[in-house]
C-alpha cells in the first residue's frame, strides 16, 4: 500500500488522494486499508517510523573522517538511494504538516531527533573519547536537531509545491542544498 500511496501522492498530491484511491491502486478494499492504517496520515507517519531506525543505523556507519553534518547528509542520501519511488513523506512533508488529524504520530519528530542524537554521539565519542560525556551529548543533540531542521525545511518548502521534486535524484540535490545551508551562505 505504501508504494501505491507514494505513486498517487506524487501524481495527485495529498489533498487530492483519497483512501479509496490508495486502496484501489494497491488492489485491496478500503476496509483492508483501515485494518493497517486509521488514516492516510498514519500511513505516512508509519513510513517515517520505519525510516528512523534505518537512518540511525546508517549514520554511525559513515566514514569516521566525515564531519557530523556531512555524515548526516550522506546517511540521508544513502537512505533515499534505496528507493525507486520516494516514500510518501518526501511527497507530503512531515506528518505534523499533513493536517489537523491528531491520530498521526505526534512523537515522530522527537523520536527522530533522539535517534540521530544517539547516532551522532557514537560518532563523537569515537572521535574524542576523552571529552566529557555531557558536553558530547549536548553537541550531538544540537547537531541532530539542526540536521532535522534542514530536512523539515526541505520537506515543508517542496512537498506541497506542484513544481517540487519528483525523483530520488531531485530529492538528493535538494538534500545536498539543505545541509549546505547549515555550513553557511
In the three-class reduction of DSSP (H, G, I as helix; E, B as strand; rest coil), residue 105 is classed as coil
Supply 47's cell numbers.
513510513
Its domain, for residue 128, covers 40-183
* Per-residue pLDDT tens digits of the chain, which is 185 residues long: 888 887 787 777 777 888 999 999 999 999 999 999 888 878 877 777 888 899 999 999 999 999 999 999 999 989 888 876 556 555 555 555 544 444 455 677 788 899 999 999 999 888 877 888 899 999 999 999 999 888 888 877 765 555 555 667 777 888 899 899 998 76
Element (H, E) at 152: helix 133-158
Structure-derived torsion over alpha carbons of residues 90, 93, 95, 101, reported in degrees to the nearest 10 = -130
Domain for residue 33, yes or no?
Answer: no
* Rg of the chain in Å (alpha carbons): 17
Q: What CA–CA distance (Å, rounded) separates 181 from 158?
A: 16
What was the pLDDT predicted at 87? 61
Domain for residue 167, yes or no?
Answer: yes
Q: What CA–CA distance (Å, rounded) separates 63 from 85?
A: 27
pTM above 0.85, yes or no: no
Total domains in the fold of the chain: 1
Q: What CA–CA distance (Å, rounded) separates 160 from 89?
A: 11
Domain for residue 30, yes or no?
Answer: no
User: How remote is the C-alpha of 61 from its chain's centroid?
Assistant: 18
What was the pLDDT predicted at 42? 81
Q: What CA–CA distance (Å, rounded) separates 59 from 54?
A: 9
Q: What CA–CA distance (Å, rounded) separates 173 from 85?
A: 16
Question: From residue 96, how far is each of 40, 101, 106, 119, 149 by CA, in Å?
Answer: 13, 9, 7, 24, 14
Amino acid at each position: 500500500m505504501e508504494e501505491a500511496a507514494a505513486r498517487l501522492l506524487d501524481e495527485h498530491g495529498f489533498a487530492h488522494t483519497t483512501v479509496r484511491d490508495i486502496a484501489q491502486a494497491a488492489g485491496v478494499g478500503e476496509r483492508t486499508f483501515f485494518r493497517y492504517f486509521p488514516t492516510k496520515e498514519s500511513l505516512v507517519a508509519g513510513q517515517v517510523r520505519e525510516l528512523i531506525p534505518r537512518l540511525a543505523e546508517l549514520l554511525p556507519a559513515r566514514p569516521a573522517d566525515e564531519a557530523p553534518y556531512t555524515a548526516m547528509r550522506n546517511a540521508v542520501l544513502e537512505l533515499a538511494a534505496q528507493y525507486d519511488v520516494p516514500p510518501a513523506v518526501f511527497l507530503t512533508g512531515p506528518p505534523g504538516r499533513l493536517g489537523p488529524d491528531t491520530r498521526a504520530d505526534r512523537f515522530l519528530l522527537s523520536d527522530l531527533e533522539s535517534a540521530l542524537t544517539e547516532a551522532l554521539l557514537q560518532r563523537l565519542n569515537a572521535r574524542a573519547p576523552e571529552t566529557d560525556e555531557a558536553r558530547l551529548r549536548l553537541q550531538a543533540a544540537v547537531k541532530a536537531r539542526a540536521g532535522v531542521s534542514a530536512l523539515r525545511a526541505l520537506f515543508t518548502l517542496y512537498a506541497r509545491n506542484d513544481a517540487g521534486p519528483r525523483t530520488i535524484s531531485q530529492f538528493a540535490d535538494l538534500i545536498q542544498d539543505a545541509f549546505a545551508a547549515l555550513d553557511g551562505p
